[in-house]
Amino acid sequence: MKKLALGLVTVALFAGACSSSDEPSTKTDAPSATAPAPKPGAAGSGATLTVYAAASLTESFTDLSKQFEAKHPGVSVKFSFAGSSTLVQQLTNGAKADVFASADQTNMDKAVQGGVIDGLAAPFATNKLTIAVAPGNPKGIKSFADLNRSGLTVVTCAAQVPCGSAAKKVEQSTGVTLKPASEESDVKQVLAKVQSGDADAGLVYVTDAKSAGGKVQGVDFPEASGAINTYPIAIVKGSAEAELAKEFEDFVKGPEGKAELNKVGFGTVEP
Amino acid sequence: MNGWLGSNPASHSRVPWVLAIPATLALALVVLPVVGLLVRTDLSRLPSLLVTSSSLHALRLSLVTGALSTAACVLLGVPLAVVLARASIPGIRFLRSIVLLPLVLPPVVGGLALLYLLGRKGFLGILITSLTGQQIPFTTTAVVIAQTFVAMPFLVVSLEGALRGSGDRYEQVASTLGARPWTVFRRVTLPLLLPSIGSGVVLSFARALGEFGATITFAGSLEDVTRTLPLEVYTQAEVDVDSAVALALLLIVVAILVIAVARPRSWEGGLR
């Protein structure tokens, strides 16, 4: 029942995002509880920047924040990493943040509709699908069509989540209809099932396959280019550190950000 | 579950009134979130959200697997509780605490543990596959195993408590009268236990119905095979919150119905 109760609370939180008639939950001029007001003239020194970022950005953004802090003495960057839809729920229900980086456009659109985004969201990274297999590719999977071979246990994401809708897109473009053993609600569960050896192959993002280290191998396939996923970043409405937030956004989109994102397998977006 | 609160009308006056404040808070903590859920639900859309084929599949799967795992809990848990409460074997105290493990383990970790045991690379999994040619993960069987794993401690703990609380004098009398151990179990222990089994069944069924973490880790999530109602709620919440809330309400209604149907018999029966 504890899980159920937790689920209900989560669902109750989710419910909040849907009622557009509600007054916006973030006040535009209230300073963030965690961030003291910046001294005039010294943009952001001694300030805290709160970044809500998609879970897949954990490694790259953590590294980037260290570089950003080195460039802005006195500034500390704090993160909340979670699934993009969870972050949108939290933001629309009044969570205090300065920057929001989503793993897909759909969730950024939800945040915009929820009235928690200031200005325009800008794309900063791309991700595409790859086939995760056991190291050494024991089943010899070489193409997307190979996933339909009989006797293979294939795991994908459910169509409701971005990695699943990307997989559906590839299925449509290739005419290959997969019969997955499981349609997971998040890409890390797909990865876990390939890692444990219970699935022969799983459709994950390039960055997920890379972050698993040597525990899985990625088999890239050309059709993945037809289902590129774009990551947008934006400043949260009511940010007490809007100037600093803008600087962080530019930093992520700039050369340092690109280098760090490329390192973990993201594609980058030309301005 | 000794019902001193309602066993006879006179006992009502014996409840200290100070308890009313924390009791009300406790009730509010349980009820108000559900009220919050109801307030945000578009009731006019509810029927259309609930009769989609995927939610009906999920409901059916939840009821079937919940019933099967509750049956497994009774078949395995009742003997276990009796052994734990009555047997005098060395290390019994240690065994008693081991049984509680699924209560403390985060369900996702429990699911991983099951996967590492019964999965394709798990030692029992390899054995089962070589003997039967079947694999457990990603099947409805895996859902039942995961639910039984997390739900059984609730039954065992409530039964064991009842057994140890009631003592074994009836059993001793029966055996001095010449009854064999099996007869004592069947004719004395089991009938005395029935009320506690009733409440244990309700607890474990409710736990099985809400099971999420171990199921999604061990069994995966595929419509009509392994995607139970809580998994459907989680999947739907990614896209359509209204539909997720509707499904959550369905889960609540099912749980309340089951408890309302099963509880009077077991809990009233407990007042001796």
Closest CB from B33, B121, B235 relative to A196: B121
Q: What's the CA gap between B230 and B248, in Å, rounded?
A: 8
Q: What's the CA gap between B130 and B126, in Å, rounded?
A: 6
To the nearest whole angstrom, how far is the Cα of B242 from the nearest Cα of chain A?
A: 7
Mean pLDDT of A56-68: 93
Mean pLDDT of A128-154: 94
- What is the pLDDT at residue A39? 41
Which tokens belong to A232? 């947008």
Chain A residue with Cα closest to B34: A8
pLDDT digits (tens, 9 = 90+) for A203-234: 999 999 998 888 999 999 999 999 999 999 99
**Alpha carbon A41 to chain centroid, angstroms:** 34
To the nearest whole angstrom, how far is the Cα of B94 from the nearest Cα of chain A?
A: 26
Query: Cβ B237–A85 below 8 Å, yes or no?
Result: yes
Which tokens belong to B240? 């359509």
- What is the pLDDT at residue B44? 83
- What is the pLDDT at residue B263? 63
Chain B residue with Cα closest to A181: B138
- What is the pLDDT at residue A271? 62
The residue that leads in pLDDT, B148 or B42, is: B148
Chain A residues whose CB is inside 8 A of the B221 CB are 158, 182-185, 189
Write the Ramachandran bin of A258: left for phi over 0, alpha for psi from -120 to 50, otherwise beta.
alpha
- What is the pLDDT at residue A24? 39
CB pairs under 8 A between A and B: 125
- What is the pLDDT at residue B142? 96
pLDDT digits (tens, 9 = 90+) for B221-236: 999 999 999 999 998 8
- What is the pLDDT at residue A1? 43
Closest CB from B121, B220, B242 relative to A197: B121
Write the Ramachandran bin of B212: left for phi over 0, alpha for psi from -120 to 50, otherwise beta.
alpha
B57, B235, B250, B258, best to mutate vs chain A, most A CBs in 10 Å? B235
pTM value is 0.78
% of chain A surpassing 90 pLDDT:
66
Q: Name which of A165-169, B85-89, B125-129, B182-186 the model is least confident about.
A: B85-89
Query: Cβ A185–B212 below 8 Å, yes or no?
Result: no
Report H helices in B4-121: 20-39, 46-50, 53-86, 92-99, 101-104, 107-118
Chain A residue with Cα closest to B226: A182
Q: What's the CA gap between B149 and B235, in Å, rounded?
A: 23
User: E strands within A87-169?
Assistant: 99-101, 117-127, 129-133, 154-157
Q: Is 80 exceeded by the pLDDT of residue B100?
A: yes
Interface of chain A toward chain B, CB-CB under 8 angstroms: 1, 3-5, 7-12, 14-19, 83, 85, 153, 155, 158, 160-161, 180-185, 189, 192-193, 196-198
- What is the pLDDT at residue B4? 45
pLDDT digits (tens, 9 = 90+) for B139-179: 999 999 999 999 999 999 999 989 988 888 888 999 999 98
pLDDT digits (tens, 9 = 90+) for B14-26: 788 899 999 999 9
Query: Cβ B216–A193 below 8 Å, yes or no?
Result: no
Q: Is 70 exceeded by the pLDDT of residue B2?
A: no
Reported as a pLDDT band with limits 50, 70 and 90, residue B207 is very high
Chain B residue with Cα closest to A180: B222
The residue that leads in pLDDT, B2 or B213, is: B213
Mean pLDDT of A81-91: 89
Closest CB from A8, A12, A185 relative to B221: A185
Chain A residues whose CB is inside 8 A of the B206 CB are 1, 4
- What is the pLDDT at residue A34? 45
- What is the pLDDT at residue A52? 96
ipTM: 0.73
Give Cβ neighbours of residue A191 (< 8 Å, ≥ 6 apart). A132, A202, A204, A208, A209, A212, A216
Which tokens belong to B80? 């276990």
DSSP string of B41-73, one letter each residue: --GGGHHHHHTSHHHHHHHHHHHHHHHHHHHHH
H helix and E strand count, chain A: 9, 11
Q: What's the CA gap between B212 and A139, in Å, rounded?
A: 31
Q: Is 50 exceeded by the pLDDT of residue A28?
A: no
Q: Name which of A4-8, A61-65, A244-248, B67-71 the model is least confident about.
A: A4-8
Query: Cβ A14–B244 below 8 Å, yes or no?
Result: yes
Chain B residue with Cα closest to A12: B37
Chain B residues whose CB is inside 8 A of the A161 CB are 235, 238
pLDDT digits (tens, 9 = 90+) for A195-207: 999 999 999 999 9
Q: Is 70 exceeded by the pLDDT of residue B246?
A: yes
- What is the pLDDT at residue A13? 41
Query: Cβ B138–A17 below 8 Å, yes or no?
Result: no
- What is the pLDDT at residue A162? 84
Q: Is 70 exceeded by the pLDDT of residue A14?
A: no
Chain A residue with Cα closest to B37: A12
Q: Is 60 exceeded by the pLDDT of residue A33?
A: no
Radius of gyration for the alpha carbons in chain A, expressed in angstroms and rounded: 20
Closest CB from B107, B112, B219 relative to A3: B107
Closest CA to B138 of A170, A152, A216: A152
- What is the pLDDT at residue A18? 40
- What is the pLDDT at residue A185? 86
